[in-house]
Amino acid sequence: MPVRLLSFASLTLILTVGNAVAACDFALRNTEPTNAQIERAINIVNAAVRDPQLALFFSNTTEGTADGDGIPVHHIRPDQARPVVAEVPASCRAIVISGVHFERNFAVLSKDNVLMQDKQISMLVFLLMHELGHITNKHYGAFLPATADAVPNKDETEAKARERQADDYVATILKREFGRLGNGNPPIDNYDLYFGTTEAIMFLSSLSFVVSSEATLACFGCRSLGDPRIFWDHGQSHPNFEYRLLLINHAISATPESQALLDSYEKVRNEAGARKPLYQKQ
Ligand SMILES: [Zn+2]
């Protein structure tokens, strides 16, 4: 699995939360177009979540929400950040985004890849909703991010369970919003933001395809051999990113195709351990 994908897979989560709302001070980074992209993503997430208690606001441009219940999103300088794109910090109820890490990772992900071109906002919607999922689940504690040289495994850890909970939150919100297309009830009051959400749903489907393709290219032959590097987790903190995306997409909109993709992936994931040696000569 290429490092570039692992970086997005490692959206970490050190957190806090509980009910305490501590003040957080970060050195902010105000760079365009990233600031505008983050602000737009925040508006889309708020329109999709529709919960005033969980309303995000962009601390780089806004002091706070009127009622003070909002959750600040800070676009911070890289020297303030651990090498992750987004996280819920340990000391406060907030989401931080390291724009430099985001820009670098997205540039690599979208290089020569038409499916990822100009999709920064959709990626940010996914990242913000995932971190919001950690906050709503009151996760706390520090976890190490996945590393490229970690031994592939499918150990069940508390940290991985937390990641699945945060992903489940994303899927629940997006499934609900996707369903509104059909019934129009409650009425959609802002079509521009609403279609930002549907774009994010389509983006996650594309991202799943891209991640699968990249993993196959990075480890040629590994997929057909059921190699754990493709099918297992890369560390103790996060489930395999390709697997996560298959689960999220299936949860948002189950189709015979999404079921078949998931089934075949899980079959090999479960069988991989029984295959020894791992890299058989053909
Ligand atoms: Zn996470």
Given the structure tokens 């699995």, which residue do they identify? 1
Helices (H) and strands (E) in the chain, counts: 10, 6
Residues 6+ apart with CB under 8 A from 83: 7, 101, 145
In whole angstroms, what separates CA 111 from the centre of its chain? 19
Band of the pLDDT at 274, cuts 50, 70, 90? low
- The alpha carbon of 212 and the centre of ligand 1 are apart by a number of angstroms equal to 20
Band of the pLDDT at 24, cuts 50, 70, 90? confident
pTM across the whole model? 0.86
Out of 22-36, 46-60, 64-78, 265-279, the most confident range is 46-60
- The alpha carbon of 130 and the centre of ligand 1 are apart by a number of angstroms equal to 6
Surrounding residues of ion ligand 1, Cβ less than 5 A:
11, 13, 163, 166
**Mean pLDDT to the nearest integer, 59-66:** 79
Residue 13: pLDDT over 50: no
- The alpha carbon of 89 and the centre of ligand 1 are apart by a number of angstroms equal to 11
Q: What is the pLDDT of residues 79-120, one digit of tens each?
A: 888 888 999 988 788 999 999 999 999 999 999 899 999 999
**Per-residue pLDDT, 2:** 42
- The alpha carbon of 90 and the centre of ligand 1 are apart by a number of angstroms equal to 13
- The alpha carbon of 29 and the centre of ligand 1 are apart by a number of angstroms equal to 22
